[in-house]
Amino acid sequence: RAQEPLSSVRRRALLRKASSLPPTTAHILSALLESRVSLPQYPPTALDYKRYLKEHNERQFFLELVKDISNDLDLTSLSYKILIFVCLMVDADRGSLFLVEGTSAGKKTLVSKFFDVHAGTPLLPCGSTEDSNEVQVPWGKGIIGYVAEHGETVNIPDAYKDRRFNDEIDKLTGYKTKSLLCMPIRNSDGEIIGVAQAINKTPGGAPFSDDDEKVMQMYLPFCGIAISNAQLFAASRKEYDRSRALLEVVNDLFEEQTDLEKIVKKIMHRAQTLLQCERCSVLLLEDIESPVVKFTKSFELLSPKCSADTDNSCKDSMEKSSSYSDWLINNSIAELVASTGLPVNITDAYQDPRFDADADQISGFHIRSVLCVPIWNSTHQIIGVAQVLNRLDGKSFDDADQRLFEAFVIFCGLGINNTIMYDQVKKSWAKQSVALDVLSYHATCSKAEVDKFKAANIPLVSELGIDDIHFDDFSLDVDAMITAALRMFMELGMVQKFKIDYETLCRWLLTVRKNYRMVLYHNWRHAFNVCQLMFAMLTTAGFQEILTEIEILALIVGCLCHDLDHRGTNNAFQAKSGSALAQLYGTSATLEHHHFNHAVMILQSEGHNIFANLSSKDYSDLMQLLKQSILATDLTLYFERRTEFFELVSKGGYDWNITNHREIFRSMLMTACDLGAVTKPWEISRQATELVTSEFFEQGDRERSELKLTPSAIFDRNRKHELPRLQLEWIDGICMPLYECLVKLNVKLKPMLDSVAVNRGKWEELHQKRLPSQAASLSSFSSSFAMSLKDI
């Protein structure tokens, strides 16, 4: 055997990696057939010198072996030295060394990076520091497990006569195991920390003698001390690295405190680096004050190592990221941690009742172990949870991992909380900016103005003509519109019914008028015209019999306030320019939320609360209805709800007793009045169209000059010749279907639909006159208009 090439010896050694393992592990040993490359670690003369000492000076030989291991703090090289020296000491042909992992209270295993190594090998196997080369033996299983559990020395003269021996490896390798000597390694406290095994005493596999046992018993205590020192050194290095990583986390948090997504991604990246896990997730609570646990934001990061190692499985899970995010939001373990404030460490997910086994199918990601801890803010409130899944080495998260993660999350909580606070400060700044802008532009009306209208005689409805659906939008001056608005309130009986103070009503109307800016179209006149059409529809079509008085009041007030403080630019412009309004209200119905909040601000100003005499319930209901009415003027909401409205009307399924049906109807009324200029006689309708188009063109000019963007067709004054076609598209796509449906609901509104049809015919005539010159650009126009509608 001594004449065999080293590669052959190494191959046979690798094939024997489980000679003392339980029989159930034999089927995995084919993995041990892999080739290995070896790097020089110890000079050959070192072993030769020790063999010489063994033959000539046993005392010096023993001291040399002890000295060689006493100063080695690298657990890998130390383990290999011990293995080789044990074989040399008892003349064993091969040897193995197993170390205990796990706590006394938890599950213990025996792990070896060096199994069945030939005694004459003077080299440290390449890759021996990688966890993929580890061999694990369950506690109490096989000869090695027995020795570790019972702390007894096992000396077997003939391995084939011991029932614990597994001969399958001998059959695979052709190597015959004869004698075995297996002995526990203890630390200074007498605790078993490892097991050393010698195989086949040379020459010829003779039994190991009592002297061999005594020599090993003398040497292994020194090995125990050396292993303990190396383990302590490794633990201290690990703690040093983790402490340094925590300091790096603190540095990251101070570098980035303005963007929540960026800071959470940094946190997850650090967590993966610290804990070496396959996946990391952070979930933030929607409301930290609410007793109901509900996550509103989820972030997750997949380890690049996982992606590289598991190929298709991890790629599939990345493709299912939306499903995984859904699973995160509804994660029962995360909810448990958020509700109790206690960490959860699941070592085997499928054996834990708290784990939902369906989660793997939902997420497309196989979960083995879970560590989930709460995230606290500076006031010791839970703001979310952090969760890591599956250690990369296949082991479960231990107590050290949990302690580290909890310490790590303390800093993360401070960072996330600071970022959230920064966002709140940013919103407060935006709110202040908007408020200062509003205050600098607007002011309440004077007492003289209030007294003037309070003492004025208010003309009758018939004198003003405000009950006519075809009312001339440009017939009244600014003061006459105030008196007409007062008449509408009186005619609908709202002053009497809700006990509205008349002076307060005058002051409120004048202040509302003053809070409309001098823009071309979305000004006080537009607000009054929308209100007038609502009044005419209510009185003409008899909707007063369907709607409650509270609903009517909300609609009238909503019409007058629906464009308060309009800046002559739309929601899309607010988002593109990143205005203070967009920062304050977001990009969904930005202006409509601002209009409502501005209306509330006026109502809350001293001497302006026209709802002061309402009961608490009526006031609450009215404010909710008012908000719905103003938000309904957002065309995005109109598109979302009109299909349901059209279907209910066409199928005759409208039920005025259903709250949702009433809400949809009120929303459609608000839109019909807001777009009401298209229902007026041609000259009035065309004049309104020119005003709104001019306002759109001014926005387009700002987009081109300030934002360096090319405006869409409806905002581009360079394409004003396309106005007839724009109006045809507008009428056919938005207006006509709405008024047709309203007529189906109430035939008394047919004059409005007839006017829309007449106006469409006029625009069609204008379009036909320009058609020859537009033929070349016709194919691109429809798509441009469709994009324009999204900007309105």
Helices 590-604 and 549-561: crossing angle, nearest 10°? 110
Residues of the chain with CATH 1.10.1300.10: 446-672
Alpha-carbon distance of 596 to 585, in angstroms, equals 11
Please state which CATH number belongs to domain 446-672: 1.10.1300.10
pLDDT confidence tier of residue 439, bands split at 50, 70 and 90:
low
Of residues 541 and 417, which shows the higher confidence score? 541
Of residues 191 and 645, which shows the higher confidence score? 645
What percent of the chain is modeled with pLDDT above 90? Answer: 40
Task: Give the contacts of 439 (CB within 8 A, at least 6 positions apart).
Answer: none
Tokens of 566: 């309009």
What percent of the chain is modeled with pLDDT above 70? Answer: 80
Instruction: Supply the pLDDT for residue 169.
Output: 61
pLDDT tens for 58-106 read: 777 778 778 878 888 888 888 888 888 888 888 888 888 888 887 655 5
Any idea which of 253-262, 348-357, 499-508, 577-586 has the lowest mean pLDDT?
A: 253-262
Average pLDDT over residues 676-696: 97
Of residues 112 and 169, which shows the higher confidence score? 112
- Confidence check: pLDDT of 456 > 50: yes
pLDDT confidence tier of residue 658, bands split at 50, 70 and 90:
very high
Enclosing H/E stretch for 631: helix 616-631
The pairing of beta strand 382-391 with beta strand 38-39: unpaired
Instruction: Supply the pLDDT for residue 418.
Output: 80
309-334 b/e (C-beta count within 10 Å ≥ 16 → b): ebeeebeebeebeeebbebbeebebb
Average pLDDT over residues 629-644: 95
pLDDT confidence tier of residue 47, bands split at 50, 70 and 90:
low
Alpha-carbon distance of 490 to 513, in angstroms, equals 19
Binding residue positions for AMP: 522-526, 563, 674, 727
For 507, counting Cβ atoms within 10 Å of its Cβ (0-12 exposed, 13-18 middle, 19+ buried), the class is buried
Tokens of 38: 């070896």
For the four alpha carbons of 497, 498, 500 and 506, in that order, the dihedral sign comes to negative
- Highest mean pLDDT (candidates 254-258, 378-382, 777-781): 378-382
Residues of the chain with CATH 3.30.450.40: 6-235, 256-424
Of residues 51 and 725, which shows the higher confidence score? 725
- Confidence check: pLDDT of 154 > 80: yes
For the four alpha carbons of 749, 750, 752 and 756, in that order, the dihedral sign comes to positive
Binding residue positions: 522-526, 562-563, 674, 727
- Confidence check: pLDDT of 319 > 80: no
The whole-chain average pLDDT of the chain stands at 82
pLDDT tens for 275-315 read: 888 888 888 888 888 888 888 778 877 877 665 444 444 44
Instruction: Supply the pLDDT for residue 162.
Output: 83
Bridge partners for 138 per DSSP: 109
- Highest mean pLDDT (candidates 256-265, 328-337, 457-466, 775-784): 457-466
Is 595 one of the annotated active-site residues of the chain? no
Q: Are residues 607 and 509 in contact, defined by beta-carbon separation less than 8 angstroms?
A: no
Q: Are residues 592 and 631 in contact, defined by beta-carbon separation less than 8 angstroms?
A: yes
Average pLDDT over residues 521-527: 98
Of residues 699 and 207, which shows the higher confidence score? 699
Supply the DSSP symbol for 446.
P
pLDDT tens for 591-617 read: 999 999 999 999 998 899 999 999 999
Instruction: Supply the pLDDT for residue 38.
Output: 42
Instruction: Supply the pLDDT for residue 514.
Output: 94
Which residue among the candidates 118, 522, 566, 594 is catalytic per the annotation? 522
Architecture of domain 6-235: 2-Layer Sandwich (3.30)
Any idea which of 33-47, 182-196, 200-214 has the lowest mean pLDDT?
A: 33-47
Instruction: Supply the pLDDT for residue 12.
Output: 52
Instruction: Supply the pLDDT for residue 245.
Output: 74
Q: Are residues 556 and 532 in contact, defined by beta-carbon separation less than 8 angstroms?
A: no
**Other C-beta atoms lying within 10 Å of the C-beta of residue 554:** 24
pLDDT tens for 338-377 read: 889 899 998 888 888 887 767 666 666 788 888 999 988 8
Which of the four CATH numbers 3.30.70.260, 3.30.450.40, 3.30.559.10, 3.30.450.70 does domain 256-424 have? 3.30.450.40
Alpha-carbon distance of 750 to 440, in angstroms, equals 45
The percent helix, strand, coil of the chain (3-state, each to 5) is 60, 10, 25
Average pLDDT over residues 567-591: 92
pLDDT confidence tier of residue 30, bands split at 50, 70 and 90:
very low
- Closest by Cα among 377, 373, 397 to 385: 373
The secondary structure of 250-292 as a DSSP string is: HHHHHH--S-HHHHHHHHHHHHHHHH-EEEEEEEEES-TT-SS
Average pLDDT over residues 153-177: 77
Average pLDDT over residues 9-36: 46
